[in-house]
Amino acid sequence: MNAQGATRTGPGPDEWAADEITRVGVVGCGTMGAGFAETCALAGLDVLVAVPGEDSAARGRARLVRSLDHGVRKGRVAESEREEVLSRVAFTIDLAGLGDRQLVLEAVPEREEAKREVFGVLGKVVGDPSAILASTTSSIPIVNLARGTDRASQVVGVHFFNPVTVLPLVELTGSLLTAGSVLDRAEVFVSGVLGKRVIRSADRAGFVVNALLVPYLLAAVRMVESGFADAEDIDAGMTLGCAHPMGPLALADHVGLDTLAAVGQAMYEEFHEPLYAPPPLLSRMVAGGLLGRKTGQGFYRHG
Ligand SMILES: NC(=O)c1ccc[n+]([C@@H]2O[C@H](COP(=O)([O-])OP(=O)(O)OC[C@H]3O[C@@H](n4cnc5c(N)ncnc54)[C@H](O)[C@@H]3O)[C@@H](O)[C@H]2O)c1
């Protein structure tokens, strides 16, 4: 046991190797669920996506098609591959349909109760006791999700970045209850099969990336709030002075100001560190629906 929970160990003799995972499940087909489904299908896996209803399935499939078409235009996906990739992804409106999966990724909205409910059902319906049950949560403790199931040792956090098909990083997290062999197999799957670069993080709100990024973005919001400098100048400072590809306020608009506020709040509740607390300007912009790119207005006007 270490700060990350589980210790690194090899797989047990009765467990399959991670590259034997061929049947994956996904719960939710929004931004992250669809991205994960597409990434797995591109890797040649059989993907079954559980959604709440037929409408959701139609929206999920349309999202996949749009993303694949974009991939074809960008040369990331071969035209000849498109139909085959799509044929690898099926939908179900019944979580019990995921019974034969070897790995399931939960990607429903960031609400602990909803996620725990999904894990409770997965624990009952997924037949293989060595199946990996994963969540792509950004801030909910993995141990809380693990406690929602009767197989806490199989639960891991696998935090992808948006867009999943493009960004190579994954933060892998075990809780204090995760078996070391499960974490190791999850790492082999994510890196060896999906081709991502895995970094490991302790089960702490924000993991590695947000623990560094969020206080930086919030500091930029506070600069605007106090009249220290305006958004354009702050962003120019970091793009032109530090060679960052995007300034902090443009990045905040891209992430979504509601998401930034929610992740900051979760980190503040965990560590009680004032630098993580969303400043009042951010909270008021969220209350006003000025969420950034997704609503057309944040620190900048979009579209
Ligand atoms: N969007 C990001 O940039 C990002 C990045 C990393 C991690 N995350 C995390 O990924 C998770 C999903 O976020 P998202 O941005 O994809 O959300 P989203 O709102 O785009 O998608 C969530 C989907 O889940 C579906 N859903 C809700 N309840 C369900 C249920 N019981 N069963 C099946 N489907 C259900 C919804 O219909 C929706 O399509 C969250 O935990 C979020 O914190 C998001």
Q: Domains plus CATH for the chain?
A: 18-201 (3.40.50.720), 209-287 (1.10.1040.10)
* Number of Cβ within a 10 Å radius of residue 191: 16
Q: The tokens of 189 are what?
A: 């799957």
pLDDT in tens, 156-189: 999 999 999 999 999 999 999 999 999 999 999 9
CA of 239 to the centre of ligand 1 (A): 31
Report which ligand 1 atom has the smallest distance to the Cα of 59.
Answer: 39
pLDDT reported for residue 16: 63
pTM of the model: 0.91
Q: Looking at the predicted structure, is the pLDDT value of residue 3 above 90?
A: no
Asked if residues 74 and 200 have their Cβ atoms less than 8 Å apart, the reply is no
Quote the mean pLDDT of the chain.
94
Share of the chain above pLDDT 90, in %: 90
Q: Looking at the predicted structure, is the pLDDT value of residue 7 above 60?
A: no
pLDDT in tens, 148-162: 999 999 999 999 999
pLDDT in tens, 9-30: 544 444 566 668 999 999 999 9
**Nearest CA-CA partner of 171 in 217, 216, 211:** 211
Mutational pocket test of ligand 1: of 38, 56, 108, 196, the residue with most ligand atoms within 8 Å of the beta carbon: 108
Q: Helix (H, G, I), strand (E, B), or coil: what is residue 171?
A: strand
Q: Helix (H, G, I), strand (E, B), or coil: what is residue 293?
A: helix
Q: How confident is the model at residue 139 (pLDDT cuts 50, 70, 90)?
A: confident
The secondary structure of 242-290 as a DSSP string is H--SS-HHHHHHHH-HHHHHHHHHHHHHHH--GGGSPPHHHHHHHHTT-
Instruction: Tell me whether the omega of the peptide bond preceding residue 278 falls within 30 degrees of 0, making it cis.
Output: no
pLDDT reported for residue 254: 93
Nearest protein Cα to ligand 1, atom 44: 32
Strand 23-27 to strand 89-92: parallel, antiparallel, or no bridges (unpaired)?
Answer: unpaired
Q: Helix (H, G, I), strand (E, B), or coil: what is residue 16?
A: coil
pLDDT reported for residue 5: 52
Q: How confident is the model at residue 2 (pLDDT cuts 50, 70, 90)?
A: low
The secondary structure of 58-85 as a DSSP string is HHHHHHHHHHHHHHHHHTSS-GGGHHHH
pLDDT in tens, 255-272: 999 989 999 999 999 999
CB of 137 closer than 6 angstroms to any ligand 1 atom: yes
pLDDT reported for residue 11: 46
Nearest protein Cα to ligand 1, atom 28: 108
